[in-house]
Amino acid sequence: MTSEVATIVAAVIAGAVVLASGFFLGRRQVRDQAAVEHGQWLRGQRQDAYIALLDAWDTAVKGLQREIDPGEHFEEVAAHVESQSGPSFWEDHEASTATQVDRISEGVQRPLERVLLLGPEAVDRACINLAEALEVLGSSVRSNSGTPDWPNYNMYQDMCRNAEEARRAFLDASRESMRAAPRPGH
C-alpha cells in the first residue's frame, strides 16, 4: 500500500468515525431534548392536577362543615320535628347525612385518581393520606347522626386537625415535586 492510499483509507476511516459519532451525538441530543420536553409537559400536568385536587378538597371540606353546622337552632327544630314525626326523623336524618357525605366526598375522587396517575411517589403517599383524612372527616360528620347526640363536634374537630395536617403534607410534597426542574436522563 502506498502512502497515498494509506492517507485516503485513514481519511475515509476518520470521516466514518466523525459521521458515526455525529449521528450518535445527534441522537443523544434529540433523546435528551425529548426527555426534557416530556418532563416539562408532565410538570404542567401535575401542576394542573395538584391545583384541581386542592380545589376539590377545599370544596369538600367546606361542604362537610356546612353539613355538620346546620344552624344554631337545629336541636330545637329536631326536637319539634321528632315530636311530630316520631323516631323516623332520626332514621331519615341518618340516611340523609350519609347520602350528603357520600355526595360531597365523590367530588374529590376523580382529582385524587388523576394525581395518583401522575405521581411522583412522595405525592402519591400524601394523596393517599389526604383521601384517608377526608374519609375519616366524613365519618365524623356521620357519627351519631341517627341520634339526638348528633353532631359529634369533638370528634369532628379532631378530624379537622387531622385533615389540615394531611392537606399541609400534600401541599409540601407537591411543592417539592414542582420545584424539581426536568433534566435529561431523569
Q: Domains of the chain (ranges plus CATH)? A: 47-179 (1.20.120)
pLDDT range class, residue 73, cuts 50, 70, 90? very low
The reported pLDDT for the residue numbered 98 is: 87
Mean pLDDT score, 159-180: 92
For cell 331519615, the residue is 92
> What pTM did the predictor assign?
0.74
Q: Are 163 and 61 in contact (CB under 8 A)?
A: yes
pLDDT at 71 exceeding the cut of 90: no
Which of 12-21, 59-68, 105-114 is predicted with the least confidence, judged by mean pLDDT? 12-21
Mean pLDDT score, 145-171: 89
Q: Residues near 64 by Cβ (< 8 Å), separated by ≥ 6? A: 101, 104, 137, 138, 141
- What's the rounded Cα separation, in Å, for the pair 49 and 58? 14
- What's the rounded Cα separation, in Å, for the pair 64 and 134? 9
